[in-house]
Structure 1
Amino acid sequence: MELLKKLCEAYAPSGDESGICNIIADEIKGYADEIYTDVMGNLIAHKKGNEKKVMYIAHVDEIGITATHIDDNGFIRFGFIGGADKYFMLYRRVVFKNGTAGVVAHEESVKDIKDIEDSNLFVDIGAKSREDAEKCVSVGDTAVLMQNFVKLGDKVNCKALNGRAGAYVLINAIKNIKNNKNDLYFVFSAQNTVGLRGAKTSAFDIEPDYAVAVDTVCTGDTPEGKVSDIALGNGIAVKVKDASFIANKEVREQIVKCAEKNKIKYQIAVAENGRSDVGSVHLSKSGVKSGAVSIPVRYANTPCETADTGDIESAVELVSSLEFE
């Protein structure tokens, strides 16, 4: 899990994914026929083949904040990037790209936490004045949650796990797949959290016959959690639908067939919320047959997303074995 740790702890808010893309490019060097970055910042690895064009996609960006104003006392006001939530962010540490750390706090005039608005929040970096703060942070700078990767028994816990687990799966699949007949594209997509943007442009350029997202799905296995059959440790989830797409029946059946053939545990996921990169991909040009291999995750879009290591490794095995004819 050292690679997953490295990926999760990397700094890569939406719109600034170059750091983690460099890590991934170094990791897969020599395992693909070509590796390149497109205009949107997607990292794409191509393993050439002669038959169907298949696109695998996982996003590498994460939620964060952008500095919008620095007051006379050096406190930083900010706006949210992606699905960051004011309650999850409160009293959490954040870190800017240059390593400057701070804590998110709220105005003392707000007495009840339920009354907090985005405009009541600020970042305290320990500055004494605006001039002092501007030595470290400028308006427009971005920051991400500051949260270390930890193991909880056979589970792992970190920020950004909902995207980086999929990237971990694709990296290992690139290494495992040899002598592929199909023309394979592995897309590590940018700007997922702000509207599946990298997925849209990469699909338009690649024009795949099939697409499979390696993403995550929320579980229902915590006390008084939402009604859902999805649980950590019960295998990968084959997604029927989420808020952004309905899986193509042919692709879904191929994923199930592969899981059963290789004796990989799987669950069927019907997600009412959440979006996947294939939500954009399946609408590209005249349409793309699309599905998703989803890793069950607790506490999505918080600093403490949690997944089962067995489920993650099962996703590696499945994607490495999946074939389309």
Structure 2
Amino acid sequence: MKNLIKKLVESYGPSGDEEQIREIIKAEIKDEVDNIETDALGNLIALKEGKKDKKVMLAAHMDEIGLIANHIDEDGFIRFDRVGGISPYMLLGARVLFNGETPGVIDKEGQLDDIKKLNYDKLYIDIGATNKEEAEEKVTLGDTASYYREFQDLGTRVTAKSLDDRIGCVTLIETLKEIDTPEYDTYFVFTTQEEVGTRGSKVAAYNIEPDLGLAVDVTLTGDMPEAKRMSVSLGEGPAIKVKDRSVLADPKVKNLLIDLAKENELPYQLEVLKYGGTDAGSMQLTKDGVLAGAVSIPCRYVHSPSEMVDIDDVENSVKLLAALLDNEISFL
């Protein structure tokens, strides 16, 4: 599993530029499914046919947060905007990669007497160019960049950029390989543009019309020094979503996941997330509504260059999803 995580997190794929990561995932799963296709928005949709014709949709997003070039000055320095939610405080000294091939480093103008004044207008990317013409040979306006950071194995835990949500993609891939014939037709959907408004899952769910939709994504934790209060910790099991800003999980879905965790003696936590949303929110509002929920993987330092997860949480998430797909669901 760690080799797969490394392959996915070190791949390039900001929102809107998911082609590279999509092809890696496609190669990994194409022999394990009954049908695989890519829709107009770039979602990778893999079907594993089940015993009954109800539809279950599992969604994990391929895209990562990123930056987009919006100006190149005469000295070759690149100004940029964000693609998804990135705090400017995370960017000082960070290395980024444009188009998966051109590295650069981020710094600020002049001296700041107050870090609270730091904003995107004060930041620039240096790709080593000496003038505008040289810079434009490597980067043009509208090109995107992602964090440039290697995967690190810390033992039970790993740290890398883009674990949000490549670790969800890993969970779907591993679940897919665990299941021979699911109870229901199951769509493993690797979605695009989640970080800029859950766009991919909206069109995928509209097309699939699932009877049950589950997002598989990361969630925040409250187990670091002086962290915001959050009753989720690394290593304590998958977090079963109760709510976030985009969704109130259907109680039937939440309780089903809790019951399956108990029956299979799997550790679990409950997630009440004050901020952020997932593909569950867009799935729930598809057409005349979908029963929706989420399995969340606890993650420290979300949207930083060095996110962190516990491998035990990932493995237990796979077991929980496999148990879901292997059993009849009373309310479907």
TM bucket normalised to smaller: over 0.9
- Residue 150 of structure 2 corresponds to 148
- Residue 182 of structure 1 corresponds to 184
- Residue 318 of structure 2 corresponds to 316
Query: 1:3-32, CA deviations, whole angstroms, 9 ceiling, x for partnerless residues?
Result: 011111110000011110100000002111
Quick check: 1:191 aligned with 2:155? Answer: no
Aligned pairs for 1:239-278 (under 5 A) are: 239-278=241-280
For residues 217 and 134 of structure 2, the distance between their equivalents in structure 1, rounded to whole angstroms, comes to 41
Higher mean Cα deviation, 200-209 or 223-232?
Answer: 223-232
TM-score for the superposition, normalised by structure 2: 0.96
Quick check: 1:215 aligned with 2:217? Answer: yes
For residues 123 and 113 of structure 2, the distance between their equivalents in structure 1, rounded to whole angstroms, comes to 13
For residues 157 and 7 of structure 2, the distance between their equivalents in structure 1, rounded to whole angstroms, comes to 16
- Residue 14 of structure 1 corresponds to 15
- Residue 164 of structure 1 corresponds to 166
- Residue 58 of structure 2 corresponds to 56
For residues 120 and 210 of structure 2, the distance between their equivalents in structure 1, rounded to whole angstroms, comes to 40
Query: 1:103-145, CA deviations, whole angstroms, 9 ceiling, x for partnerless residues?
Result: 0111115443221121111100110100111111111111100
- Residue 135 of structure 1 corresponds to 137
5+ unaligned residues in a row in structure 1: which ranges? none
For residues 137 and 248 of structure 1, the distance between their equivalents in structure 2, rounded to whole angstroms, comes to 45
Query: 1:207-231, CA deviations, whole angstroms, 9 ceiling, x for partnerless residues?
Result: 0000111111111101111112211
Corresponding letter in the other structure for 2:34:
D
> Post-superposition shift, 1:181?
2.6
> Post-superposition shift, 1:51?
3.0
Higher mean Cα deviation, 250-259 or 198-207?
Answer: 250-259
- Counting matched residue pairs gives 325
Query: 1:244-276, CA deviations, whole angstroms, 9 ceiling, x for partnerless residues?
Result: 100001111111111111111001111111211
- Residue 288 of structure 2 corresponds to 286
Q: Identity percentage over the alignment?
A: 46
Residues 1:182 and 1:98: Cα distance change in structure 2 (over 3 Å): closer
Q: Secondary structure at the match of 2:33?
A: coil
5+ unaligned residues in a row in structure 2: which ranges? none
For residues 103 and 16 of structure 1, the distance between their equivalents in structure 2, rounded to whole angstroms, comes to 20
- Residue 77 of structure 1 corresponds to 79
Q: Secondary structure at the match of 2:196?
A: coil
Higher mean Cα deviation, 161-170 or 147-156?
Answer: 147-156
Give 4+ residue runs of structure 1 displaced > 6 Å after superposition. Answer: none
Q: Secondary structure at the match of 1:225?
A: coil
Corresponding letter in the other structure for 1:28:
I
- Residue 299 of structure 1 corresponds to 301
Q: 2:105 aligns with which of 78, 84, 103?
A: 103
Residues 1:227 and 1:109: Cα distance change in structure 2 (over 3 Å): closer
Q: Secondary structure at the match of 1:284?
A: coil
- Residue 43 of structure 2 corresponds to 42
Q: Secondary structure at the match of 2:158?
A: strand
